Amino acid sequence: MPQFLDHSDADFEARFTALLNAKREDSPDVDAVVADIIADVRTRGDAAVIELTEKFDRIALTPDTMRISADEVAQATEEVSAEDRAALTLAADRIRAYHERQMPEDAQWTDDAGATLGWRWTPVSAAGLYVPGGLATYPSSVLMNAIPAKVAGVGRLAITVPTPDGAINPLVLLAAQLAGVDEIYRIGGAQAIAALAYGTDTIAPVDKITGPGNAFVAAAKRRVFGKVGIDMIAGPSEILVIADGDNDPDWIALDLLSQAEHDESAQSLLITTDPAFGRAVAEAVDTRLETLERRAIAGASWRDFGAIITVPDLDTAVALSDHIAPEHLELCVADPVALSEKITHAGAIFLGQWTPEAIGDYIGGPNHVLPTARSARFSSGLSVMDFVKRTTLAQMTPDALRAIGPGAERLAASESLEAHGLSVTARLRKLNG
């Protein structure tokens, strides 16, 4: 059973704080191992990657077979059924259309001093996408990571996907094909991150790495940050549902389980103004867990980290939600739009009982790579903006330099940076004869 919390209880604050602070992911001491792997790949390149791949994925590679060939991609994607192909294509089209609207615009103007100022946006040259491997991989994540990169104009997009025992998911390869991925490598783990960041004889380095992974992948991304950009260090999945009593308990139960089934460390929370409805949802979860294919995983998540919280009103629910800053937030209330306008911190908001979070995972359009572990307080989900960078522009005319140059001279002097000031002074002296 999950925890039941009532906002009116004297110990609510203590229990709510403990719920948010519960350790939800294994933290093996992987950093030293990852540091050694990265150093090995930097030193030995392909040889280290091949050796580690054989050790962890039980597949023997050569530099020539690290990359999945175009023929292999074509052969594998032919195995995809027409129905699966149509669904994946629909998802790709919707994700692309959504992200095309995110493209920022260049700007340039002349200010009152006569200076021309502005900015322009340019894509990173190369990006690497990490895809968890084996038959349990997620083609939807390929679309969510690769399509924004291609929309942004990234010139080269490389994917690394481990293939334990040689298993390749055809849907992952089809998703890569639909997204316009340029290169696919059958490697994974920290060694794949190191190869993408530093390059090997076979794999050229990239400028940014995105995509989910296990603790070793997360530690590797943290270590290579600075050499390359990364999207985020993601933790276990999470969902918060705010619901009134005018909902189907079974629907809400399924929404909670949709995240619980990801991982034993995932967290599913329900905030409701109706205690009886909360109990009905808990009963519906128990019923569904009896038949759910991933019931062992979902059951452990719900038991250890799930909670049903009763509040007196929706304003209290909003305050708690902003403190949680959930990755996914469902608003199953009479006026979800109005309630959403009060929310400040959430990775993604799903409005109304007809908008289950699962739609966002696959086919809604917005990105499903979202901030976890309360990081929605200061960060956003993956977008086109992760694959472009802004360059500022400035051009002074002689009159503009006359107008603002003396201010620069004063500020340089105040910071005791003589050459800074003199570089302006020399030009002003020329202008002033």
DSSP per residue over 196-214, as a string?
HHH--SSS---SEEE----
Amino acid letter for position 155: G
Q: Which of 238, 327, 330, 357 is catalytic?
A: 327
Angle between helices 314-324 and 12-21 (to 10 degrees): 40
Neighbours of 297 (CB within 10 A): 17
CA angle 42, 47, 50 (to 5 degrees): 110
CA angle 188, 168, 185 (to 5 degrees): 40
Q: Tokens at residue 10, please?
A: 């004297």
Q: Helices H, strands E: what count in the chain?
A: 17, 14
Contacts of 88 (CB under 8 A, 6+ apart): 80, 139, 143, 171, 174, 175, 178
Q: In Å, what is the CA distance from 203 to each residue of 63, 221, 304? A: 9, 17, 42
Q: Which of 238, 328, 330, 368 is catalytic?
A: 328
Partnered with residue 350 across adjacent β-strands are 330
How many whole angstroms separate alpha carbon 141 and alpha carbon 212?
8
How many whole angstroms separate alpha carbon 43 and alpha carbon 220?
16
Tell me if residue 327 is catalytic.
Answer: yes
278 in Cβ contact with 251 (< 8 Å): no
How many whole angstroms separate alpha carbon 50 and alpha carbon 48?
5
Residues with catalytic annotation? 327-328
